[in-house]
Amino acid sequence: MSETPTPVSIEPARKSFFANASFVWIIPILALAIALGVAWQSYTDRGPLIEIEFENGAGIAKRETELRFRDVAVGVVEDVKFASNLSGVVALVRIDKDIAPFVDVGASFWVVQPELSAQGVSGLDTVLTGVYIEGTWDGDIGPAQSKFKGLKDTPLYRYGKEGLEITLRTTAGGNLTDNSPITFRGIEVGRVGKAHISQQGSFAVAEAIIYHPHSRLISDRTRFWDTSGFTFSVGPGGAEIDFSSFATLVSGGLTFETFVSSGGRVSDGKSFEVFADEESARDSVFNASEAEPLQMRVVFDESISGLAVDAPVELSGFPIGRVTGVSGVIDADAFGDERVRLNALIDIQPARLGLTDEVTPEAALQFLSRRIEEGLRARLASASLLAGGLKIELVDTENVSSYVVQSGEGIIPIIPSTSNDISDVTATVAGVVSRINNLPIEELLNSAIQFLNSADALISNEDLRETPKVVRALLGDVRDIVGSDDVQNIPAKLNGALGRFETLLAQLEEEKFTTQLVAAVNAAAAAANGVNASVEGVPALVTQLQAVAAKAESLPLDALTEQLTSLTTSADAILGTDAAKKLPEDLGSALNEINATLRELREGGAVTNINATLDSTRKAADAVAISTQDLPALVERVQQVLNQANQTIAGYNKGEVLSRDAQSALRDISKAAEAMTSLARMLERNPGSLLRGR
């Protein structure tokens, strides 16, 4: 009935691939496209690979170590490998594409590592992040290069630190610290690079850079010197300790100065010498200037010591020369009197005057002449308060008489002088010093030496040994006195006088001038009494002498020399007294007078003169009396002397010489005493003999 249609095999129409495909396929296709796109982009963005060869790895790590330019990462190390012959390490650095063209032949690379130096710490960040490679190149695109040689050290000249590149060379014996700063007025304006020793080994050479714009400070007259370390000096300028900065103290450093204004600009590659210190650097300028010094003279009115050869000559405090000679000059014609003036010869370096045009002595003279006409004068000034010394200052003065410098062939031009400016302190100190100088130290010393010599001589007993001689001489003197003819002749003369007196009396008897005779006789008797009285002490004296002699014989001789000395002097004094010396003379002269009177009387026979004669006789007798009155004093003194001698000799045990002398002296004294005694006895027995002359 119902018919189901026979199933028809339905063959679906063949659908196309895309009809069957799911839209989901878009996703992988898209992903692939994106991936490919990214890959392509990253490939095209990828910069070139460069090779940098270093001496060692120095912490370079692949895929970590960056290449930086001005502290911005512009690449990264992709690989680190050894150079072909293991001579180094090659870092393969992928650099950014946009920077790649600039990395040309002029590029240089170095590894930045942390560095701790006296100037400070550098590369501190690399402590944390590891080292990085720093590169420098200029802003111009040059010939491309892909293999570079890395630098061992940070180069001096790099982008952003441009400057004047110079070469520094040490002077003979000088030294140079590499990697040290070049400072100017304390500011770092440049840097010394790596130094190396020249082939001959005689000096060190280093590259250096003076950064712009400080490079304009450099001219071909610029001098560099070493400021490293410190110097301590004591000189005319006082004690000086000098170092420029702590950094240079530790690590060394250079500084420079352009001492003279004239000088041309320098270009890269100019070579400079490095001097040991500022002074030699300064000197070298003038040595190098090769200008003849200008010789001039200064005559100072007063001659003041302290100006020495080589003392500086300063103009406005700036040394422009030095003193080459100092002399005194006397020129009455030129100066009007004959005072000694100080004549200083000075050499002035024309280069130091800062002349801009030509540096010649003539120009310097012109310049100075002009200044002198305007009032420039020379004066002496203290070079240093402490150490003294003078220098010559050229100062501008006002209200001075105009002066025209005379110059010409063979004439040394003179710079007129003005009043000196020597500080009071110096003068005071100089005064004190001169006073100390004037102290008679030499004399004092001489006196002291003499004193000591005397003491030495005294102690060495020279005089003490002489003392016996002196005593002997003293006793000799005593003996001389006692044994002198005058004393010995006293009796004879008395005899003579009495004889003549007798003849006179005989004449007088005839003429019977008795009254006057009585007076005369009385006087004579008085005189005889005096003699008698004086002679009374003689025996005691003799006994004393004997005692002294005895003691002297028994006692030693070598002690109490001072007493002997004083004894000697006192004995000398006694014997030296006029009284003692005159005593015999008085006696003699009195008798002589009597003699002469009597002779006159006898010969002249002038009776009229008898009165006068008798007066004279009486006077003579008086004189005899006076003399005999003096005799006891003499005896007494002799006695004192002998007492003293006795006391002195009491300490003596030996001394035959002295005792012998003493004995002889005593013998003489005894003789004298005996003579006195006999005289006295004769007079005693026969006082009339004095009158009669028998």
The residues binding another protein (CB under 8 A) are 20-22, 24-25, 27-28, 31-32, 35, 128-130
Hey, how many other C-beta atoms are within 10 angstroms of the C-beta on 538? 22
Joined tokens for residue 331: 């020129």
Q: Which helix (H) or strand (E) holds 188?
A: strand 187-197
Tell me whether residue 294 is exposed, middle or buried, using C-beta atoms within 10 angstroms of its C-beta: 0 to 12, 13 to 18, 19 or more: buried
Partners of 165 in the β-ladder = 209
- Enumerate residues 6+ apart whose C-beta is below 8 A from 26: none
Cβ pair 583, 490 in contact under 8 A = no
CB of 253 to another protein, least distance (A): 35
Cβ pair 409, 449 in contact under 8 A = no
Distance CA 435, CA 607 (A): 85
CB of 154 to another protein, least distance (A): 24
The residue (of 127 and 573) whose beta carbon lies closer to another protein is: 127
CB of 264 to another protein, least distance (A): 54
Joined tokens for residue 142: 């040059």
Cβ pair 294, 365 in contact under 8 A = yes
The residue (of 129 and 202) whose beta carbon lies closer to another protein is: 129
How does strand 108-112 pair with strand 132-136?
Answer: antiparallel
CB of 23 to another protein, least distance (A): 9
The residue (of 128 and 332) whose beta carbon lies closer to another protein is: 128
The residue (of 4 and 316) whose beta carbon lies closer to another protein is: 4
CB of 60 to another protein, least distance (A): 15
CB of 30 to another protein, least distance (A): 8
What is the identity of the amino acid at 64?
E
The residue (of 27 and 573) whose beta carbon lies closer to another protein is: 27
CB of 32 to another protein, least distance (A): 7
The residue (of 126 and 284) whose beta carbon lies closer to another protein is: 126
The residue (of 24 and 187) whose beta carbon lies closer to another protein is: 24
Q: Determine the Cα angle at 280 with ends 277 and 281, to 5°.
A: 80
Q: What is the largest CA-CA distance in the chain?
A: 262
CB of 59 to another protein, least distance (A): 13
CB of 118 to another protein, least distance (A): 27
Phi, psi of 303 (to 5 degrees): -95, 110
The residue (of 68 and 581) whose beta carbon lies closer to another protein is: 68
Joined tokens for residue 517: 């005779």
CB of 40 to another protein, least distance (A): 15
The residue (of 36 and 308) whose beta carbon lies closer to another protein is: 36
The residue (of 18 and 232) whose beta carbon lies closer to another protein is: 18
For residues 154-191, one letter each, b for 16 or more C-beta atoms within 10 angstroms of the residue's C-beta and e for the rest, the string is bbbbbbeeebbbbebbbbeebebbbbbbbbbeeebbbb
Distance CA 350, CA 293 (A): 6
The residue (of 30 and 550) whose beta carbon lies closer to another protein is: 30
Classify the phi-psi angles of 263: left when phi > 0, otherwise alpha if psi is within -120 to 50, otherwise beta: left
The residue (of 124 and 197) whose beta carbon lies closer to another protein is: 124
In Å, how far are 212, 546, 559, 653 from 563, measured between CA atoms? 104, 21, 9, 16
CB of 258 to another protein, least distance (A): 49
CB of 127 to another protein, least distance (A): 9
The residue (of 47 and 130) whose beta carbon lies closer to another protein is: 130
CB of 217 to another protein, least distance (A): 43
Cβ pair 348, 321 in contact under 8 A = yes
Cβ pair 248, 188 in contact under 8 A = no
- Enumerate residues 6+ apart whose C-beta is below 8 A from 372: 403, 405, 415, 416
For residues 81-105, one letter each, b for 16 or more C-beta atoms within 10 angstroms of the residue's C-beta and e for the rest, the string is eeeeeeebbbbbbbbbeebbebbee
